[in-house]
A and B are shown apart, each in its own frame.
Chain A
């Protein structure tokens, strides 16, 4: 802060050289030189700015001070905005990386939809998905669970719109061809997407999703047999991470309530519903 710039702030008792002298005794001579220089300069300037000082004697608020104030204010505003954005980004990143207490359910897969399109785990991103594994010749549990999923999707879509993707993955690929899946699913909620594929692909997908099933690899496509399999409905978040598994005993209302809670948590963290 030079005396020529801020003459109104200078007082003899509080010159920077005095403060310097107190703090660094080794620099006394240098500081004294500066002070001597400043003082001589100050004396010259003092007379020069005397009239200015008189005018500003009412206070320290000069156009210069105002400018410094505004610049500092604007600077701080942008600084804090930047810091806040950085913090939010960090929190989001933490959430993405959060893996403690989360089951490792899910993984990469490429299967075929009931309308004969390729579908991978990446196509699930950006939506809350409900995944169920079963087969079309299932006597009673699968159709009941699929009807339950349909009811859940209907009531959730009323409030949130189409941000849900129910998926039915076949564990009986020998019999569940693409047209078979299409005919079967025409009886259920229109949003339910059927997935089937090669035995090996289905097996690998089931492994990633921790789903057990009993179909042998060489099953007769025309045979009359049942498949023993896990009957959980998985809820996955818009980033494809596992959230919860619902068993047969979970009612439609319970699942809807839980999904609402999860969307609320998600919204609090990301500012978005998906």
Chain B
């Protein structure tokens, strides 16, 4: 078997101008896979091509042809592409693929799309019949590792930004947003960020109130929301589930009594208030009210910091898991490969034994059947005992991934065949 290699470029190594030159359509991927096989560049191959990465995974005796193909590409300034490329071999290549599919190598770590893109790449390769014994096994294992990472670590829950911190808090209170209405008070940048994230998370309706009505209309149209007049803002508190404030007011514009009244109207369903303004727009006393949950900009920062810590922790756990899986995959692969060699060795030994029996056929003919059987059993036992030590060493070396010992043990048999 040739080496398992991974070569490619990603957002880590190449700017968008380079990535877009390398990006391949499904058709181009099919075409390339076919050519790699026909030209003998790779025994097996598959290609992952997304807007953030183009990677070729291949089993190849000689990487020269793959290098030559990549060498045809140039950067935007005519520079050779190889300065943007990374190469991984065997266990490192396996680990890299596991990391990519588990979204540990993504621009936004934990984003779920990449697994679908890897699945597409596998499907294309299957259709092009370019997956074999090694990559077939590897791609199956990759999907299972990605699933393990997603279920056993919290990598998929990690999100960034003040808007998502607001969404996370809202979800902790409400569980879902698609039946919730929010009131955005003021159209400051931070307020819009939180509103945008909530709309993105499926918010049912956004109502916008701003001192200048025209700006409410403008902002509401951007989010598909409803603008209201500034003086109706307090009245609306009872009709929404989320209140986001971000005005430049120097004194609180929402008082505890306003919230108490709103809660009575809401029959005490919880009201989630996010105050992003400094100085604050919502009087701090609001948080003492039973069903009002008030958070200010510092609280959102804490949520983000905690999210970051959790993301780092989850990524470290996921990395350890991936490294362990990669190691086990290589060991299994070596065991399978050695298993095939052991099969060949056993068959060869049996052929030799039969040849020797054949050679002494004349002498053996003089023996009675019982004696012949004894000779047969004896030769079999000899062969078995002679091979036993070697086979055990081969298996152990495969388990430990010791390629050198494997090679030494196989050498006499290869020469014998040669």
Do A and B associate with each other? no
Binding site for B on A (CB under 8 A): none
